[in-house]
Structures are given as C-alpha cells and as structure tokens.
Amino acid sequence: MNKYLQHVGVGVKDPRRLIPKLEELGFKLSSNFTLFTKEARDTEVYFYQYKDLVLEVYELEWEEPEAYIIDSIVITNHNLEYKEYALDYGLKIVNINEEEEALKYFTVNASDTKASEEYFKKLNFLKEQDYLVQNNVKILIKELKDKKLALGPVRHIAFDTDSIYADRVDFIKKGVDFDNNAVIEFLPFMDKGVVYFMTIGPDGINMEFNQILK
C-alpha cells in the first residue's frame, strides 16, 4: 500500500501575495479551482508545481505558533542560489546542491521523535538512515521540545491512492487517529472529483490520503 506524493496543502492569508514568490522559485501553475470546504470557503485554490512537488495554495488564516510542525520543504533547483528562501507567511523552501532536480525531503519538528516515527511507520513509511521514506516522500524529523508546536503555512501532505477504503481499514487496525471520525469526504477537483480522509499524528501533524475518481 505504498503511496506517492500527490500535493502539499499550503494555507495563507493572501495566496496572491505568495504566488509571485513561488514563480520566482520555478513553480508553475498547473490548475486552479473554486471550492467550498471546511477550511477554504468559496475561495480560489491554486496548484503550483515544481518537478514532482505540487503545492495546493489556498486562503486560510491561522494563529502564529511558537514553531511549525512541518518546518520546511527542501528541493534542488540548479537555476537558483543554494540557500533557504523564507517566503511570505512563514513558508520556508530550502534549495540544496544535489545532482537531480526534484523534491528532496520535508523537515518535521516533533516534541517526541519516537512517537512521530511510530506514526509514520503506521502509515507504511520505512526508516532509511535519518529519514522516514515512502516512495518519493522523505521526512526528516527534528526534536523540538522547548517550543509549542502547531501547523503553520504547510497544513498537510497528501498522498495519491487508488484504494482509499482499504487504506482507511488498514490505518484503523493500526490505531491511527483521524480527522472527522475517519469520514471519507468529497471535493470537486479534477474531472469527476476526489475523495479523501485526513490522519492526525503527534503534535497535530496532518497526512491526507486522496483518491481521484475516474
């Protein structure tokens, strides 16, 4: 049941302020929709893509925490200077010098690294050296005990699946916690829409599983 990255949810107060900065980093608009959901009510949702990394950018206000759970997105783009790019609303994209241009990994802060690792393993991640890995998604967990953690601009990481009901059963058996009582919800994306559910891990980290309807 290994999955590939579908998108990364990015909620900010004014997406139109953030979008030009993303374009400067090599992201290109792949699609956009108007939708009504719990977090984004009758608003534009923009999908910006760089290689295999797709950012789902939408309007959302949130209180600034002491530290973000999903702290940064690490990529390689040879057309950019190799450094950390601190964008609007706290979104942090780090460009590192490696041979292949692609998404490299996400850095995740955790108050309890062992509990965080166990959560990802229940979602079928494997430990490889310092990372938790599932196909093209790598998570680097960093312990941060002295600050209160909460979601920042990166609201969730979403995985593509073609077996959403079996995934839900698998995670329930493993004791994974869910948002909205594990209800599978619908969104009017793509031609026929998508269905998804959200898991909740330590410190409130969110991992989404999303199936495109055909």
Indicate which CATH number applies to the domain containing 128: 3.10.180.10
Q: In this structure, are strands 137-143 and 102-110 parallel, antiparallel, or unpaired?
A: parallel
The pLDDT assigned to 42 comes to 67
Q: Which pair of tokens denotes residue 35?
A: 């939708």
pLDDT of 198 strictly over 90: yes
Reply yes or no on whether the pLDDT at 44 is more than 80: yes
pTM of the model: 0.93
Average pLDDT, the chain: 93
Structure tokens at 145: 């005990």
| Token pair in block for residue 161 | 């699946």
User: Average pLDDT for residues 65-93, to the nearest whole number?
Assistant: 96
pLDDT-based confidence at residue 32 (cuts at 50, 70, 90): confident
In sequence order, what E strands does the chain have?
A: 4-12, 28-35, 43-50, 53-59, 67-68, 70-76, 84-86, 92-95, 102-110, 126-128, 131-134, 137-143, 149-150, 154-160, 177-178, 185-187, 194-200, 206-212
Query: Considering its fold, how many domains does the chain have in total?
Result: 1
Residue span of the structural domain in which 111 resides: 4-212
Please write the tens of the pLDDT for every residue from 139-197: 999 999 999 999 999 999 999 999 999 999 999 999 999 998 899 999 888 889 899 99
pLDDT tens by residue, 90-118? 999 999 999 999 999 999 999 999 999 99
What phi, psi does 98 have (nearest 5°)? -130, 165
Q: Cβ contacts of residue 42 below 8 Å, gap of 6+?
A: 34, 35, 36
Helix (H) or strand (E) holding 212, with range, is strand 206-212
Q: Is the pLDDT of residue 37 over 80?
A: no
